[in-house]
Amino acid sequence: MEFLGDSVLGLVVTEELYKRFPDLDESRLSPLRSGVVNMRALADIARELDLGKYIRLGKGEEVTGGRDKNSLLADALEALIGAIYLHAGLATTATVVQKLIATTLTQAMQRGAGLDGKTALQELTAQLGSGAPEYIVTETGPDHDKSFSADAMVAGVCISSGTGKSKREAEQVAARSAYEILKPQVMDDTK
């Protein structure tokens, strides 16, 4: 079900983006789609639906907080979308998916024309002439439940920090935050 739901989700989101932004090329549409259908975004939607309480888990996953793991929540949402598709068809599924992703799509668009946080920050620091951002990542916790913290460094200065369940997630959170902090500088420079 997850495999089917992933494909249906990708199709619906791609069509929605194509309709909303007919003038954007693939290089801008693809990262925007990724901003909507990534594991973290899907897990957040699953949390809004309280989907975690309906997942059947083994004892190990139950003990280690599986009901709130991004990967399991995202997979469960994709499986749900697959089930809706099989039961009700593409048109109904598209309507459901569009409602589910509305907020996530708006947030992705606001983050800089579909750029992920790290790419957006890198483009911004290039505009500022500050060089490429760097990330200092630390990890804590036992192997089965690691947490990561990342500092986004620009020109040797820590601009912001972020946390996540993976190194990449922590870096993305830190980068998005740094982007929001530094973006006004670019706006001031263009006035």
Is 2 annotated as ligand-binding?
yes
**Would you say 117 and 176 are in contact if contact means Cβ atoms under 8 Å apart?**
yes
> Largest Cα–Cα distance of the chain, in whole Å?
59
Question: Residue 113's pLDDT is what?
Answer: 46
In the 3-class helix/strand/coil scheme, how is 71-139 assigned residue by residue?
HHHHHHHHHHHHHHHHHHCHHHHHHHHHHHHHHHHHHHHHCCCCCCHHHHHHHHHHHHCCCCCEEEEEE
Is 75 annotated as ligand-binding?
yes
Is pLDDT of 40 > 90? no
Return the active site residues: 6, 78
CATH number, domain at 133?
3.30.160.20
Is 26 annotated as ligand-binding?
no
Domain final position from 111, 136, 169? 111
101 shares its domain with 148: no
Q: What is the per-residue pLDDT across 46-92, written as a single tens digit (0 to 9) for each?
A: 999 999 999 998 998 888 888 899 999 999 999 999 999 999 999 99
The pTM of this model reads 0.63
130 shares its domain with 87: no
C-alpha neighbours within 13 Å on the C-beta side of residue 101? 32
pLDDT confidence band for 189 (50 / 70 / 90): low
Q: What is the per-residue pLDDT across 97-135, written as a single tens digit (0 to 9) for each?
A: 999 998 888 877 766 545 578 888 888 888 888 889 999
Domain final position from 111, 145, 174? 111
102 shares its domain with 48: yes
Range of the domain at 121: 117-189
Is pLDDT of 180 > 80? yes
